Amino acid sequence: MRIVRVLSCIAIASLIAVEANAQSVPSAVSPDPLRGSAEGKSSTFLRQYLAFRAKQLASANPDLLTISLGFVKGLSRSFTGTSGSLSIDLRTGEFSARVSGLTAGESFTLALVDRDEARKLDRTLVLAAIAATGPTASAAGKLDPGQVAGFALDRATLTRASTGEVLASGAMSVFQKVFFRRLGVAVTGAPTLSFAEPTRAPALASLVPDVSAETAGAAAQSVPIDVLIRQGGTLFTTGTFSGNGRTCATCHPASNNLTIDTAFIATLPANDPLFVAEFNPALAQLEKPQLMRGFGLILENLDGLDDPTNKFVMRGVPHTLGLPVSLVQDAAQPDPPAEMTGWSGDGAPGAGSLRDFATGAVTQHFTKSLARVPNQDFVLPSEHQLDALEAFQLSLGRDTDFDLLHLSFLDPDVDTGKLLFVNGTGDPLAGGRCSACHGNSGALAANGRNRNFNTNVEDVVHPARSVLAFPHDGGFGQTANPDGTFGNRTFNTASVVEAADTAPFFHNNVVSTLEGVIGFYTGPEFNGPRLAGARFSFDATQTAQLTNFMRGINTLQNVDVARSELAEILALNGNPQPQVQGHLQTAFTETGDAIRVLDQGGIYPNAVTQINQAQQLIVQAQQTANPNTRRTIIQQAITTLDGARGLVATVTP
């Protein structure tokens, strides 16, 4: 039986808990120099949004809003195993849902939640009462426009009727919020980067939160996306969410390619929040300091919080660059997450989306105690803070993969490495091709999805275990295995493009060099369980060619990002110093990365010279007060970078 009603109640679960003094989205900050402060690119966000918009408009029903639902891993004390999706036609109000992982004989409630953070109250719109007769159930009905008036859909939840426990939840992405409201995308001070939406919003568009009003304080026809991105960047760098002092940038510093390694960790002072387990007795078991300092490993309770000091895994910190080209769902996985986040593709709670990743990070890493009680040990991000963090992360790095078919490297050995990467060696006994999983050297397979695989990397003897024993990592999922792990032993594919300047490698940092990566794929752990067509065999010369290809493609990425950061400044009107200096600093860091990567392989010395010249011009621009002079210097730096890129590779027809 379908039920639709509006309730006003206390937050129904810790997932949607709020606090009267919850941290607002800040507008200004003095960044930590050790962490750096990334200035996201509005142009990157806009290109991605327009691609999303085009796909939505080309669908059978452009006004069908679909929200993925997932079990509340990271917030629940144990797995619930519930997942599904909810679709609402915003033209007609008709909705349908399908959920799995239910217990037969129990009753459940499907609802929408409007988080009223100012009053610490949540309004709940109940869509359906579900009496499960088996593990899977469906619900359908129609919303009454009068009943949803003034209601903003912040989150969808499935709860156990008897206890109110949230079994699954999900929320809209920031792209969905912009599209279904039919908002434009504005960049203040840079009208050439703006987009005005020409189509009309559907009848129930008001059900979608107005991200424009939430960003700028007043409703408008366009979202000031540069403002939203800066809000997210500030939160990412300085937002502690009333926790133990850590921020997102504690583990993802902009000054270190949004990841950490042992060399970076060694530069930090003893009182850095990263080391909170060393100086806060209440958090002594939050981390394993020897493994963090010695191997860059972070403790994660991905398999539930019911026994956090015994049921855990140790993982490296994945960089957050180029997320738009690594998040595409692996539909082959059972109950796949909405987006492929984290090393196993299931690093986020709820539906597993990028916006939910922040909720899991605050719960896991920002807490004041292992009890992890919301509003006591931390304050969960508000929905708008999640919007801002999502927008910021989607504005970093690249938003498209390279086209290796039409890219020729001018160093013959590097170009041979590219061919080995794409085609393999042709050996019938080792016919594997790197590009089968890393299409165009990115994170997506040939089917355009970020796939999960069991590479058997967990079978490699980890040197960290000679320092301190720790559980093996079961990878994706919640299946309990005889060896005490949880999961199906699969991990998702990382991008090769950024690899050369984001070592160490794999989910457990077991390899620290590019040569070591190739060594793993030619070794017994990977090759042993595989058929000949999927094995690899590279000799020393081929290994050098492959690793220098990886350095070459990484350099192109560094140069492209540096160039786009500088171009972003030229698109600005006026002289907004925080944005200008932020873009310049990122361009400086990227050129420095390119120089170091090329020096590692001793390749492209002439390009190194030109990139050095471009970096010197960037420094001049940083030190120049006159905006017109600065623009001239920036244009010179762009021209110099273009020249350097042309010395590394050319685009062929």
Is the pLDDT confidence value at 623 over 50?
yes
Assigned domain for 522 exists? no
User: Whole-angstrom Cα distance, residue 105 to residue 115?
Assistant: 30
Assigned domain for 409 exists? no
Is the pLDDT confidence value at 275 over 50?
yes
pLDDT of residue 596: 97
Residue 407, strand partner residues: 651
pLDDT of residue 302: 86
Each residue's pLDDT tens digit, 180-202: 999 999 998 888 889 999 999 99
Assigned domain for 358 exists? no
User: Whole-angstrom Cα distance, residue 434 to residue 443?
Assistant: 11
Is the pLDDT confidence value at 24 over 90?
no
* Residue 540, number of CB atoms within 10 A of its CB: 9
Q: Where are the beta strands (DSSP E) in 184-305?
A: 184-186, 222-224, 298-300
- As a whole number, mean pLDDT of residues 624-635 equals 96
Residue 195, strand partner residues: 185
pLDDT of residue 443: 96
Q: Which residues contact 158 (CB under 8 A, 6 or more apart)?
A: 69, 82, 84, 99, 108, 109, 110, 111, 130, 166, 167, 168, 169
pTM of the predicted protein model? 0.93
Mark out the alpha helices in 120-279 (DSSP H runs): 174-180, 211-216, 225-238, 248-251, 262-265, 276-279
- As a whole number, mean pLDDT of residues 583-594 equals 96
User: Whole-angstrom Cα distance, residue 343 to residue 351?
Assistant: 16
Helices (H) and strands (E) in the chain, counts: 17, 17
CA angle 421–427–429, rounded 5-degree value: 115
Each residue's pLDDT tens digit, 89-126: 999 999 999 999 899 999 999 999 998 766 567 899 99
Q: Using only C-alpha atoms, what is the Rg of the chain? A: 25
Assigned domain for 628 exists? yes
The residue length of the chain stands at 653
Count of structural domains, the chain: 1
Is the pLDDT confidence value at 5 over 80?
no
Is the pLDDT confidence value at 231 over 70?
yes
pLDDT of residue 305: 85
Q: What is the sign of the dihedral through the CA atoms of 395, 398, 400 and 401?
A: negative
Range of the domain at 634: 552-651
Each residue's pLDDT tens digit, 406-445: 999 999 999 999 999 999 999 999 999 999 999 999 999 9
- As a whole number, mean pLDDT of residues 311-325 equals 94
pLDDT of residue 82: 85
pLDDT band at 28 (very low <50, low <70, confident <90, very high): very low
Q: pLDDT: is 302 or 286 the higher one?
A: 286
User: Whole-angstrom Cα distance, residue 154 to residue 172?
Assistant: 7
User: Whole-angstrom Cα distance, residue 484 to residue 99?
Assistant: 28
Each residue's pLDDT tens digit, 440-473: 999 999 889 999 999 999 999 999 999 999 999 9
Assigned domain for 623 exists? yes
The answer to whether 304 and 76 have CB atoms below 8 angstroms apart is yes
pLDDT > 90 fraction of the chain, expressed in percent and rounded: 79
Closest listed residue to residue 623, CA positions, set 591, 586, 592, 577: 577
pLDDT > 70 fraction of the chain, expressed in percent and rounded: 93
The answer to whether 224 and 212 have CB atoms below 8 angstroms apart is yes
User: Whole-angstrom Cα distance, residue 4 to residue 604?
Assistant: 66
* Residue 571, number of CB atoms within 10 A of its CB: 15
Q: pLDDT: is 467 or 73 the higher one?
A: 467
Is the pLDDT confidence value at 537 over 90?
yes
- As a whole number, mean pLDDT of residues 505-521 equals 97
Is the pLDDT confidence value at 18 over 50?
no
pLDDT of residue 73: 53
Distances (CA, A) of 598 to 565, 595, 601, 612: 21, 5, 5, 12
Among 142-146, 174-178, 238-242, 566-570, which is the least confidently predicted range? 142-146
pLDDT band at 79 (very low <50, low <70, confident <90, very high): low
Assigned domain for 595 exists? yes
Closest listed residue to residue 166, CA positions, set 231, 87, 70: 70
pLDDT of residue 26: 43
Is the pLDDT confidence value at 171 over 70?
yes
pLDDT of residue 7: 39
pLDDT of residue 282: 97
The answer to whether 398 and 557 have CB atoms below 8 angstroms apart is yes
Is the pLDDT confidence value at 20 over 60?
no
Closest listed residue to residue 172, CA positions, set 115, 126, 244, 217: 115
Is the pLDDT confidence value at 558 over 90?
yes
- Residues 206-234: b if buried by 16+ CB within 10 A, e if exposed: bbbbbbbebbbeeeeebbbbbbbbbbbbb
Q: pLDDT: is 278 or 27 the higher one?
A: 278
* Residue 161, number of CB atoms within 10 A of its CB: 13
**H or E segment and range at residue 653:** none
Is the pLDDT confidence value at 11 over 70?
no
CATH number, domain of 592, equals 1.20.120.660
pLDDT of residue 72: 64
Among 159-173, 225-239, 549-563, which is the least confidently predicted range? 159-173
The answer to whether 170 and 155 have CB atoms below 8 angstroms apart is yes
Among 460-469, 473-482, 534-543, which is the least confidently predicted range? 473-482
